[in-house]
Amino acid sequence: MVIIKTREEIEKMQQAGKILSDCHKEIAKIIKPGISTLEIDQFVEAFLKKRNAIPEQKGYQGYPYAICASVNDEICHGFPRKELLKDGDIVTVDMVVNLDGWLADSAWSYAVGNISDEAKELLDVTKKALYIGIEKAVVGNRIGDISHAIQTYVESEGFSVVRDFVGHGIGKDMHEDPQVPHFGRPGRGLRLMEGMVLTIEPMVNIGTYGCKIDDNQWTARTLDGKLSAQYEHTLAITKDGPIIITEQ
Ligand code: MF3
Ligand code: CO
């Protein structure tokens, strides 16, 4: 069941989104060779506490950390760890912020120091894929229009889009209906209505889209060991077009 949000509820989610986007801006400043993803996790917990917000991922279905930090061939749900990031790594930091019971969800991929041209291209294409999807998030379109636009663009650039993880509705719960795949056919799926709040969060791989799950039962990584990136925003569908809740 899709839960439609009122104008006031969307405003509350925007307040959570503002904290989240401020937090990503701070992460962008501190990410460099020699920092660990565990330090970033601790930074985020402290940052959210100062803003009276809660890291919703911590404890969610037993997930142990405030952020997911997915390095290089890790697609998503990477565990923060003590190991130091190195020049040339890419890392996706994903988090869900809870402010007074209302959530916002956003992931961003970061370059650590100087990265290869191929890695740069992967980050550029993945970010652009997110915004191409957001452009399709208008009243009257269908979910499949978002999915298809993302897939077509990513594949035209020679990369692949992950099938096993999808975007989702969000509100007081992290995962609500509908699912938002990043691949699919235009004109299919649920019709977008004013008041829907969704995430779009393409994970894009340089090689095959296949993935495997680590022994920790969470972390997904590419089957072929090649790089993967992800950008995610939470957005509200309105009659005046999408409001990006996690970009402020
Ligand atoms: N932020 C992720 C998403 O986009 C959720 C990660 S799963 C968790 O859905 F357990 F870490 F929360
Ligand atoms: Co999400």
Q: What is the CATH number of domain 7-244?
A: 3.90.230.10
Please state the pTM of the whole predicted model: 0.98
Q: What are phi and psi of 78, to 5 degrees?
A: -70, 140
Please compute the mean of the pLDDT values over residues 50-77 and round it to a whole number. 98
pLDDT tens per residue across span 154-194: 999 999 999 999 999 999 999 999 999 999 999 999 999 99
Residue 199 pLDDT grade (very low, low, confident, very high; cuts 50, 70, 90): very high
Ligand nearest to the CA of 98: 1
Domain boundaries, the chain: 7-244
Mean pLDDT for all residues in the chain: 98
Please compute the mean of the pLDDT values over residues 65-70 and round it to a whole number. 99
Residue 228 to residue 52: CA distance in whole angstroms: 33
Q: Which residues line ligand 1 (CB under 6 A)?
A: 57, 60-61, 63, 68, 77, 94, 96, 105, 199, 201, 232
| Tokens of residue 172, six digits | 């007081």
Predicted local confidence at residue 143, as pLDDT: 98
Residue 48 to residue 16: CA distance in whole angstroms: 10
Give, for ligand 1, the residue of 68, 200, 201 to mutate: max count of ligand atoms closer than 8 Å to Cβ.
68
80, 92 contact by CB (below 8 A): no
Give, for ligand 1, the residue of 44, 96, 165 to mutate: max count of ligand atoms closer than 8 Å to Cβ.
96
Predicted local confidence at residue 23, as pLDDT: 98
